[in-house]
């Protein structure tokens, strides 16, 4: 096993040489979409585990059920690429991966309950490495640090080292990851912090490359994040009143202070159909569910609404699509769907109203957070901010505005509500 030879230029390509060799305690990569950071990390760990028989790896995502279709699959791919899959036992139901010859483990967990992770033990060697994938979804530094503290202990071995690897796509510059790992004045000691881009990925096809490059023209602000792997600039954000927060929807409903609001923005081939569901009180909004998918026909939208349990709830949809609203109502049984009210300055009226709330978003609702972090006011030619939001990446933002009309002067019927997380 120790005789595996890895030709970095051929197998991994450019941009990750320092990352591959690093033994810093914190090894952190923020990267653009398509920058191959996840695939490279999986390759790196497979090689390391076969080389260091004392090592075990903990792979962490914000939610445990997201590992199977992401990190676990990445490791299976990496083993095939290295032609060493016969050296591993794959248990998809847990999921878990074991080195057959030694019993070393790759364990997959979620931060659904970070305290459970701290009690993990292994039979062979030591749990000395952890990989936090999509770390941007971790809301607080404390939640992260609780797990890091479980990587402890030592071995009397000359090549032994412990390491925390962190990979993510950056968004808002206010995220704790920036100050903890990227700002020189405040970052943790013994940190390697890198930024990679899609240009590191030699295996992207021409279609993908053109899609990224077009963003520089169509949406330079978004290109800075998606293509260049840079932090999103908070300046000019429409909503400054948003926080990611865990909460129990059922407990909120028990207080009797909240009403249900659901908004729906229709999409077509390229634009997504976007639905958002949230609870509203007189001063707070709690976003607990979302849907975001392109290419849906009317029947599929209706099935989505029914599957989520919203068929008996009032839904406010984009009034520009009266035909779709009529079809959903008369042909597919979504009888409480209504068209949004629109008029002169209705966008800013809705925005102003939402700005008056404290908005809390459940960590599962990642698409709406992407939009919150990139939804900005327009600028004039001199760079001055205008009192008008950009008409870009705003599908859930529009749905959020529509949904608020559920509670304008009426009750939304939350007592019959059964859907959501």
pTM for the whole structure: 0.74
Q: Could you report the per-residue pLDDT of 72-94, keeping only the tens digit for each?
A: 999 999 999 999 999 999 999 99
Mean pLDDT of 256-272: 92
Domain regions of the chain by residue span: 11-218, 242-416
pLDDT in the model for residue 392 = 84
Q: Is the pLDDT of residue 6 over 80?
A: no
Mean pLDDT of 125-131: 96
Q: Could you report the per-residue pLDDT of 162-176, keeping only the tens digit for each?
A: 999 999 998 778 889
pLDDT in the model for residue 253 = 95
Kindly state the tokens that stand for 45: 């760990």
Mean pLDDT of the chain: 90
The answer to which of 104-118, 276-290, 293-307, 353-367 has the lowest mean pLDDT is 104-118
Q: Give the span between the Cα atoms of 316 and 333, in whole angstroms.
A: 15
pLDDT in the model for residue 80 = 93
pLDDT in the model for residue 234 = 57
Q: Is the pLDDT of residue 7 over 80?
A: no
pLDDT in the model for residue 3 = 62
Mean pLDDT of 248-254: 95
The residues, ordered by sequence, that sit 6+ positions from 347 with a Cβ below 8 Å of its Cβ are 388, 389, 401
pLDDT in the model for residue 413 = 39
Strand pairing report for 377-379 and 163-168: unpaired
The answer to which of 19-28, 159-168, 360-369 has the lowest mean pLDDT is 360-369
For the domain bounded by 11-218, which CATH number is listed?
A: 3.40.50.300
Mean pLDDT of 126-133: 96
Q: What are phi and psi for residue 146, nearest 5 degrees?
A: -60, -40
Q: Give the span between the Cα atoms of 66 and 364, in whole angstroms.
A: 11
pLDDT in the model for residue 353 = 95
Q: Could you report the per-residue pLDDT of 321-344, keeping only the tens digit for each?
A: 899 999 999 999 999 999 999 878
Q: Is the pLDDT of residue 412 over 70?
A: no
Mean pLDDT of 55-67: 93
Q: Is the pLDDT of residue 51 over 50?
A: yes
Q: Give the span between the Cα atoms of 279 and 257, in whole angstroms.
A: 9
Does the domain at 242-416 match CATH 3.90.226.10? Answer given as no
Kindly state the tokens that stand for 213: 């490059």
Q: Is the pLDDT of residue 415 over 70?
A: no
């Amino acid at each position: 096993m120790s005789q595996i030879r890895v030709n970095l230029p051929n197998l991994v390509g450019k941009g990750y040489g320092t990352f591959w060799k690093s033994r810093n305690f914190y090894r952190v990569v923020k990267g653009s979409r398509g920058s191959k950071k996840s695939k490279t990390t999986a390759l790196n760990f497979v090689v390391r585990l076969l080389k260091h028989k004392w090592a075990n790896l903990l792979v962490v995502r914000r939610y445990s059920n997201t590992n199977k279709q992401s990190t676990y699959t990445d490791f299976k791919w990496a083993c095939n690429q290295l032609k060493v899959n016969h050296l591993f036992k794959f248990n998809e139901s847990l999921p878990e991966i074991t080195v057959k010859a030694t019993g070393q483990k790759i364990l997959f967990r979620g931060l659904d309950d970070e305290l459970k992770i701290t009690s993990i033990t292994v039979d062979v060697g030591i749990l000395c490495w952890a990989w936090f994938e999509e770390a941007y979804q971790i809301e607080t530094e404390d939640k992260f640090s609780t797990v890091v503290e479980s990587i402890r202990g030592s071995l009397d071995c000359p090549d032994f080292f412990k390491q925390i690897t962190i990979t993510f796509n950056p968004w808002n510059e206010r995220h704790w990851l920036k100050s903890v790992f990227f700002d020189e004045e405040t970052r943790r000691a013994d940190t390697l912090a890198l930024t990679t881009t899609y240009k590191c990925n030699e295996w992207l096809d021409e279609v993908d490359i053109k899609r990224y490059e077009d963003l520089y023209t169509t949406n330079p602000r978004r290109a800075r994040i998606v293509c260049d792997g840079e932090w999103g600039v908070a300046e000019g954000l429409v909503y400054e009143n948003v926080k990611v927060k865990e909460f129990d929807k059922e407990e909120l409903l028990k207080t009797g202070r909240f009403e249900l609001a659901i908004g729906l923005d229709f999409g077509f081939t390229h634009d997504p159909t976007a639905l958002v569901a949230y609870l509203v009180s007189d001063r707070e909004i709690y976003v607990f569910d979302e849907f975001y998918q392109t290419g849906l026909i009317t029947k599929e939208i209706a099935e989505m609404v029914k599957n989520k349990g919203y068929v008996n709830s009032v839904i406010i949809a984009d009034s520009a699509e009266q035909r779709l609203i009529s079809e959903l109502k008369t042909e597919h049984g979504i009888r409480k769907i209504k068209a949004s009210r629109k008029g002169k300055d209705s966008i800013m009226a809705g925005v102003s109203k939402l700005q008056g709330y404290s908005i809390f978003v459940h960590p599962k609702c990642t698409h709406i957070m992407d939009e919150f972090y990139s939804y900005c006011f327009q600028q004039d030619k001199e760079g001055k901010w205008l009192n008008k939001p950009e008409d870009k990446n705003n599908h859930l933002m529009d749905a959020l505005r529509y949904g608020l009309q559920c509670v304008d002067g009426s009750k939304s019927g939350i007592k019959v509500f059964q859907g959501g997380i």
